[in-house]
Structure 1
Amino acid sequence: MQKIPADLSFETAARSLGFTAIAGVDEVGRGPLAGPVTAAAVILDPARIPPGLADSKTLTSTKREKLFDQILETAQCSIAHASVEEIDSLNILRASHLAMERAVAGLALAPDHCLIDGNLIPLGLKGRAEAIVKGDAKSLSIAAASIIAKVTRDRLMVDLAQQHPGYGWEVNAGYPTKLHLNALLNLGVTAWHRRSFKPIHNILYQAKTVTP
């Protein structure tokens, strides 16, 4: 069965109800052991959709980088983060939603309707919104937000990799690859690691139990 590409169906439906500023919202970085979670909110100009726009997971890094620049040039965008400390104190789901809320609040034009990737609408989100499961593969606005969020976070992790070499963040973006897990055992836990995540918690707990 051929996969249907993302389009503007959800945006068109919202416009038919009278909404004019429709924002796609997505986040990236729930699964990594290190680094913040990053969200983006994007209001596309229907007359200036970048060609080739699609879910970030289906694109090469080169294509994502190109689309990142084109989206910033043609759409209204806002980027926000939730910190490692917030992830550890709130939990990763709530921190992800907090980053989404911040991204929406940061838009220069307040949206009157938000398309949220996932099955939940963030509790602190103001205004009307709908949750769309796998929305980054269905809505071009959410797809654009997924690209903005992923490229931003990937660049951030490359910068952090220069400050903390050996964990492979420049290639694994903080996800628990074999290189990353081995480096944790050999190099230890950094300030950028999420202490509430089981692999990090276990290392810290074991370290405490064997230390006199």
Structure 2
Amino acid sequence: MRKIVPEILSKKILSLFVENKKKTYNIKQIRFFLDAVIDFKVLKNILYDFVKYRYIINTGNDKFKFNLNFNLLKGRIERRLLVDIDTGVEFKPRRREFRGIFDREIVYYYIDRKSNVRIFSYTPRNEIRYVGKVIEDHNFSYVKIPRKDFKIVINENQSYENELVVVIVNDWIYENPDGKIIKTLGDEKEHNTQIHAILEEFNLPYVFPK
């Protein structure tokens, strides 16, 4: 079974409630929203922990909704800092708070009893593109991204082995996230492929204006 990142799992669950503050969800609906293999009992324990922390309310029969009395603030991530949208005050949360979150993303946060800034949930911005080489390893394929400590797992019927591709991440919930190939650049040994890879990686145009 693939390893799930707990911090990202929690933020994804909470984002469902933040974005739908007046709606009530049962465990089956939340599990479907996650689109991940997570044990029913484990998810139930997580939800009741959230109830204990007063993030959400148990309305009965294992149904939950956002706790409107829980005070959330809104911020934006800029260069590994959290900037409050209303006041412009900058915070520097612990590094682990940033897992799966990137610059310019909008986040909801709160300050705990120890004055630590805690990111509650976030709204992913437009897709981020990565360029990497496709590796086929037994029963699954993944894209190896240079200078990154993760692989992007792909589920493609077509073989792209040893090709350079442009890929986006569908979900960061796993330690090695799921992704989708959106463009093939060709054989990694070809000179033109290397040039195209650089253009894609730095989001540069293929043709420059005169």
Please state which band the TM-score falls in when normalised by the shorter chain: under 0.3
Give the TM-score of the pair, scaled to structure 1. Answer: 0.24
| Higher RCO (C-alpha under 8 Å, 6+ residues apart) | 1
Give the TM-score of the pair, scaled to structure 2. Answer: 0.24
Higher helix share: 1
**Bigger CA radius of gyration:** 2
